[in-house]
Amino acid sequence: MKFNLGQWRMKEGFNSASLTQIRQVRLSEDGTKVSIFGVSSYRQERSMDGPTLEIEITSPGEDMLETKVVHFKGDRQKYPKFELNEQKVVLGFEESEETGTNMFGMESTTKIWKISSGKLHLTIRNIFPCSFVYDYDGRELTAVGDRFGTAMLSHVTTPDGNFMRGQLDVGVGEKIYGLGERFTPFVRNGQVVDIWNEDGGTSSEISYKNIPFYLSSRGYGVLVNDPGPVSFEVCSEAVTKVQFSVPGEKLDFIVIGAPDRKGVLTRYGALSGRPALPPVWSFGLWLSSSFTTSYDEDTVNSFIDGMAEREIPMSVFHFDCFWMKENEWCGFEWDPDMFPDVEGMLARLHAKGLKVCVWINPYLGQHSPVFDEAVEGGYLLKRPNGDIWQWDLWQGGCSVVDFTNPEACEWYKGKLIKLMRQGVDAFKTDFGERIPTDVAYYDGSDPVRMHNYYTYLYNKLVYDTIAEERGEEEAILFARSATVGGQKFPVHWGGDCNSTYVSMSESLRGGLGLTLSGFGFWSHDIGGFEGTASPDVYKRWLAFGLLSSHSRLHGSNSYRVPWLFGDEAVDVCRTFSKLKNSLMPYLYAKAVEAHETSIPMMRAMLLEFDEIGCEDLDRQYMLGDALLVAPIFRADGDVDFYLPEGTWTHLLTGERVLSHGGWRREHYDFFSLPLYVRENTILPIGSHTDRPDYDYLDGLELRIYALADGKCAERVICDTEGIPVLKAVAERNGDVITVTLSGSRKDADVRIAAMEDGLQVEVVR
């Protein structure tokens, strides 16, 4: 939200009271909180009038400093709160003074306070204006901006109500990333970002997954700790600032420091929650019935048997909306005309080695078979006058389940358990964004701040129900909406994209933004959702989709089985599905890493490379630490991509490229794309291509790529439960590479190959 007209004036009817002077600073007895009393006008003598700001500095975790700024603290409204893993860290606290000349030419004494958590420091100077500067281990990160003698921690009155505003400086060349899955430009500088979940597709500024956390290229992060409509002006209203504002009288933000960008995500994940580890079978190919298509058990079997006949490995079949009758969504009851033997059908699918996913959402149409049941139980959101909230968008008389009501949660949970006991393994938790604000929640929560937070309650309930019924190791969603903490309930997919190259690229851009916002896993609709892709788009999207963390064929008004796109599409689908399965010893270890550290499987280049050339890249990514993937977004098969400095080896062709850090243009057929292995890498290749869940040590090959003389490389292999069972460390001295194997399965029959002629490999166990 913009408050100013340029640099000098505020908008008509807008007034700001910002921190001008600190009058009192106190450290709590237990050392965990610094309380600051500030005023909005400079005072040399005692005075009692004018707006004041009360500020608390705490640390919710090492290398994090949280700032809470309050104008009026009498607000009794109940607000939902992000479920953060907050600690009470004892702060470092130093107080000092220095004498100098102030801006009026008068000698004055400046008080200085240094507040620390780990290596993150906040230095506050009570000069005119007040100065708040953050540094990490002596490296300056950012500062609270100033304007006309005031620090930009402000209370603003507007014709639309009161707001709290903060501004943090952005340095020369600094770039801002994250803020959720956004389809606008990858670098957020210059953008207005409103944190408000909406169902808007993938081709606008609207987003399904709004996360009020951003990552700076300087190696720090900022979380605005408010589940409501946070508005970010990223170098837009003030071109050297990130401004964030929230309605009301309170502002809460957390600055996170770390040695590097990966470290910021790791610390943010420790605070907001680590991604759960998805079951290993979920990394195989998912095939959907598609959205508006008609289908029955015979249709489903024709798809599954068709994939098997064509030797295309798949792991999951997904039943989209029409597993229920039309206009009865979401009623949790199978259409008996199309699926007369549900338990038998699902058992037959399981016998073919498949898992089963079904589509659900948190809305109930009036014609749903459970609508009256939900009304009678009081399970639906109500208007302030007590009527059930309804509208006709999506389903006639559509209503919304109230997940703040414990009885409603138990009721909804019971519907899911019934489906799982019929044989359902996973749920696609669609929607969760169209949440009204003119309602009264069961627990009295503010409906505006519940709008974004609703998705957390929704996805958490479904995920926890699966975990309770099947075991945590089997729990997985395919979710569209999210807020802070949603990463704990993977997997999320990109939403309703078009079936074009442009939309394919915007999907990747959105996914990279999400994975820079704490999410470890991400997927998208292979071939696009809206419309039907041309065969070339479909085939290029297959390569991209099967080199993503999770892979699903899904669409809207047509089936997405590959033979409908030509014989070559079948071959391309088979090739990349088998390739992904062969990479599972590597990929699953990267999934475990994402679970343990919050470093995502699909990584923006800037996470792995501290090169200026990597800071803007949004058409390529690193799949884990070792594989560079550049999807092809052109009909002619040409692709421009950036190779960071080093020696790179194409995984499929073996071609080696020595790069000094620069751009390349290459041409590929549909069976390949830029897929390069980083230097000094041990890449594990599995011997099974028919499924993702197998014994990764059975016939394992460890390939050593471009290991420089005097360098070491290492790789950890996990079993299918995520437990490390083998560690390989390779060290090169001259023409000899010594590989040391350790772990519980160090004696496994592992083949080791140096992918460079003339090198000898010696194995030590």
pLDDT tens readout for residues 653-693: 999 999 999 999 999 999 999 999 999 999 999 999 999 99
Q: Flag whether 47 is in a domain.
A: yes
Catalytic positions: 430, 433, 496
> What is the average per-residue pLDDT within 222-248?
97
For the four alpha carbons of 444, 449, 452 and 457, in that order, the dihedral sign comes to negative
pLDDT of residue 70: 97
CA 223 → CA 164, 215, 262, 757, distances in Å? 15, 9, 16, 50
Question: DSSP characters for 176-228?
Answer: EEEEEE--S-SS-TTEEEE--B---TTSSS-BSEEEEEEEETTTEEEEE--SS
| Residue where a domain stops, chosen among 272, 294, 325 | 272
pLDDT of residue 451: 98
pLDDT of residue 240: 95
pLDDT of residue 45: 63
Please check whether residue 517 is in contact with residue 493, taking contact to mean a CB–CB distance below 8 angstroms.
Answer: no
Tell me the CB-side half-sphere exposure of residue 730, using CA atoms within 13 A: 31
CATH number of the domain to which 705 belongs: 2.60.40.1180
> Residue 116: which pLDDT band, with cuts at 50, 70 and 90?
very high
393 and 259 part of one domain: no
What amino acid is encoded at 127 in this protein?
Answer: I
Question: DSSP characters for 147-181?
Answer: ETTEEEEEEEEETTEEEEEEEEE--TT--EEEEEE
Q: Flag whether 517 is in a domain.
A: no
Is the pLDDT reported for residue 329 higher than 90? yes
> Residue 108: which pLDDT band, with cuts at 50, 70 and 90?
confident
Which of these, 222, 219, 223, lies nearest to 261 by C-alpha position? Answer: 219
pLDDT of residue 40: 86
Is the pLDDT reported for residue 111 higher than 70? yes
Residue 327: CB partners within 8 Å, gap ≥ 6? 365, 367, 395, 396
| Structure tokens belonging to residue 501 | 């190259």
How many CB atoms are closer than 10 A to CB 178? Answer: 28
CA 155 → CA 195, 230, 329, 348, 675, distances in Å? 20, 15, 45, 62, 51
Q: Flag whether 554 is in a domain.
A: no
CA 598 → CA 377, 473, 592, distances in Å? 40, 18, 10
pLDDT of residue 106: 67
d(CA 201, CA 188): 19
pLDDT tens-place string over residues 246-293: 999 999 999 999 999 999 999 999 999 999 999 999 999 999 999 989
Q: Which residue has the tokens 């029959």?
A: 749
Q: How many domains does the chain have?
A: 3
pTM attached to this predicted model: 0.97
Average confidence score pLDDT of the chain: 96
203 and 152 part of one domain: yes
pLDDT of residue 102: 61
CATH number of the domain to which 15 belongs: 2.60.40.1760
Q: Flag whether 528 is in a domain.
A: no
> What is the average per-residue pLDDT within 318-332?
96
CATH number of the domain to which 334 belongs: 3.20.20.80
681 and 747 part of one domain: yes
Q: Flag whether 700 is in a domain.
A: yes
> Residue 129: which pLDDT band, with cuts at 50, 70 and 90?
confident
pLDDT tens-place string over residues 627-649: 999 999 999 999 999 999 999 99
pLDDT of residue 103: 60
> Residue 76: which pLDDT band, with cuts at 50, 70 and 90?
confident
Q: Flag whether 325 is in a domain.
A: yes
| Residue where a domain stops, chosen among 428, 463, 496 | 496
pLDDT of residue 602: 98
pLDDT of residue 128: 73
181 and 327 part of one domain: no
| Residue where a domain stops, chosen among 481, 496, 511 | 496
Q: Flag whether 529 is in a domain.
A: no
226 and 324 part of one domain: no
> Residue 48: which pLDDT band, with cuts at 50, 70 and 90?
low
Is the pLDDT reported for residue 306 higher than 80? yes
pLDDT of residue 146: 85
Tell me the CB-side half-sphere exposure of residue 202, using CA atoms within 13 A: 27
d(CA 141, CA 149): 21
Q: Which of 99-108, 497-506, 678-687, 749-758 has the lowest mean pLDDT?
A: 99-108
Q: Flag whether 583 is in a domain.
A: no
pLDDT tens-place string over residues 79-90: 999 999 999 999
d(CA 506, CA 182): 9
Is the pLDDT reported for residue 8 higher than 80? yes
pLDDT tens-place string over residues 459-495: 999 999 999 999 999 999 999 999 999 999 999 999 9
Mapping DSSP onto H, E and C, the string for 355-404 reads: EEEEEECCEECCCCCCHHHHHHHCCECECCCCCECCECCCCCCEEEECCC
Report residue 474: phi and psi, to 5°: -105, 0
680 and 729 part of one domain: yes
243 and 302 part of one domain: no
167 and 284 part of one domain: no
176 and 46 part of one domain: yes
235 and 362 part of one domain: no
pLDDT of residue 43: 66
Domain holding 634, by residue range, is 602-764
Long-range contacts formed by 372-381: CB under 8 A, 24+ apart: 373/411, 374/399, 374/401, 374/408, 374/411, 377/407, 377/408, 377/411, 378/405, 378/407, 378/408, 378/442, 379/405, 379/407, 379/408, 379/411, 379/412, 380/408, 381/436, 381/439, 381/440, 381/441
pLDDT of residue 149: 67
660 and 711 part of one domain: yes
Residue 162: CB partners within 8 Å, gap ≥ 6? 71, 155, 156, 247, 248, 249
Is the pLDDT reported for residue 58 higher than 80? yes
pLDDT tens-place string over residues 402-411: 999 999 999 9
| Structure tokens belonging to residue 308 | 């098997």
Residue 15: CB partners within 8 Å, gap ≥ 6? 156, 157
651 and 734 part of one domain: yes
Nearest 10 degrees: Cα torsion 756, 760, 764, 765: 50
d(CA 205, CA 197): 11
Is the pLDDT reported for residue 134 higher than 90? yes
